[in-house]
Copies of this chain bind each other. A is one copy, B any other.
Amino acid sequence: MATFGVAVIGAGRIGALHLRNLCAIPGVRVVVVADAEREAAERGKALANAERATDDVEDAICHPAVDAVVIATPTPTHARLITLAAEAGKAIWCEKPVALDLGEAERAAAVVESKRLPAQVGFMRRFDPGYAAAKDKIASGALGRVEAFRALSRDTYPPPPSFIAHSGGIFLDMAIHDFDLARYLVGEVAEVYAWGAVLIDERFAQAGDADTACALLRFESGALGVVETARRSAWGYDIRTEVAGAQGKLVIEADQKTPLRFSRRFGFEGDHYESFADRFEAAYRLQFEAFFEALRRGYSPSPGLRDAIETLRLAVAATRSWREGRPVAVREVKSNA
């Protein structure tokens, strides 16, 4: 079995999660960990038993033992790092969203495509056994014509204020996962209408962002959808998705974390997941297994950059709808927007 050498760029919270998962994949070796903060790079190196830690990302990407670059840095750096990795001829795995700006995303994708390099984006929910099984069920025709999509996402903890400013806003940073599921499970969206509100923390308002949002989707097929999202959940990580059709309905919902129920005076209790890390523990691992399996077999990994761009377009359209108070056709959102 060929072994792939990997450079991991970005060793913060999500980078550390990726490092642990990469270590456990047979045939994958983390060669170098890079982070603008040298200490974070060193911690990442120790986590992954890597050869090198560095704060020089170019150096890490170009390391001759590196076959694939895993990008887990803040979003504004994604497009540049994808471009660097593509120019170095490396396979690319990048966290979502691929950029905050469509044009930037398009230009990075163009470089990757011109070099015919494999690239995958971190929409990990697609690899959750529930969502993957839903995709198969829909493809089997079990639902008949799809008529409705329904998604709700609540993060347990709001992000820190420093993150809010550069996040791209609730639709690009958070609802983007639900928009990706909408496209993955139902198909392309023609039109979106969105509302935002600040109900959780005034700092979102100060950043011109919302902490609670909802949107209506009209798919090209004519199906309707609703997406709800919020930046805080007192009861834990709350991610539920439904697809309904003429003949049946799918509900993807992992409500209980521990297989234990406690009954006491006339009632019972169970627990919820605390975070994306425990809810999507398997998906975070499986997305990398799929990526390296694609490299090994020589086919294009998925979801790729074009998927990321279309999902981003939808998120930009939702943001525009919210800001302008009108329904927005997704196609009206161009790369130079």
Please give the residue numbers on chain A whose beta carbons come within 8 Å of chain B beta carbons, in ascending order: 23-24, 26, 49, 128-130, 133-134, 137, 142, 144-145, 147-148, 150, 152, 154, 193, 195, 197, 199-200, 212-216, 218, 222-226, 228, 230, 232-236, 238, 244-272, 274, 325-327
Q: List 17 A-B contacts (CB under 8 A).
A: A129-B258, A130-B258, A145-B199, A147-B230, A148-B228, A197-B222, A216-B216, A230-B244, A234-B245, A234-B264, A235-B248, A235-B266, A235-B268, A249-B262, A253-B259, A254-B259, A269-B269
* The residue from B24, B144, B252, B268 contacting A272, defined by CB atoms under 8 A apart: B268
A248 touches B272 (CB 8 A): no
Smallest CB separation, A227 vs chain B (Å): 9
B268 touches A255 (CB 8 A): yes
Given A144-B234, A263-B249, also A195-B216 (CB < 8 A): yes
B264 touches A267 (CB 8 A): no
Residues of B within 8 A of A197 (CB): 218, 222-224
Smallest CB separation, A133 vs chain B (Å): 5
Q: How many chain copies does the complex carry?
A: 4
B265 touches A234 (CB 8 A): yes
Chain B residue nearest to A282 in the complex (CB): B281
Pick from A134, A216, A262 the residue with the most CB of B within 10 Å: A262
Residues of B within 8 A of A147 (CB): 199-200, 212, 230
B272 touches A261 (CB 8 A): no
Chain B residue nearest to A270 in the complex (CB): B268
B272 touches A267 (CB 8 A): yes
A35 CA to B128 CA, complexed, in Å: 36
Given A26-B23, A216-B214, also A249-B266 (CB < 8 A): no
* The residue from B49, B258, B259 contacting A26, defined by CB atoms under 8 A apart: B49
Residues of B within 8 A of A142 (CB): 262, 264
A270 CA to B266 CA, complexed, in Å: 9
Residues of B within 8 A of A195 (CB): 193, 216, 218, 224
B267 touches A261 (CB 8 A): no
B212 touches A260 (CB 8 A): no
Residues of B within 8 A of A247 (CB): 234, 264
A235 touches B249 (CB 8 A): yes
B252 touches A260 (CB 8 A): yes
Smallest CB separation, A140 vs chain B (Å): 10
The 7 closest A-B pairs by CB, nearest first: A254-B259, A130-B259, A235-B263, A249-B263, A248-B264, A24-B24, A130-B260
A137 CA to B262 CA, complexed, in Å: 9
Residues of B within 8 A of A193 (CB): 193, 195, 216
A334 CA to B226 CA, complexed, in Å: 29
Given A148-B212, A197-B224, A325-B327, also A264-B251 (CB < 8 A): no
A142 CA to B264 CA, complexed, in Å: 9
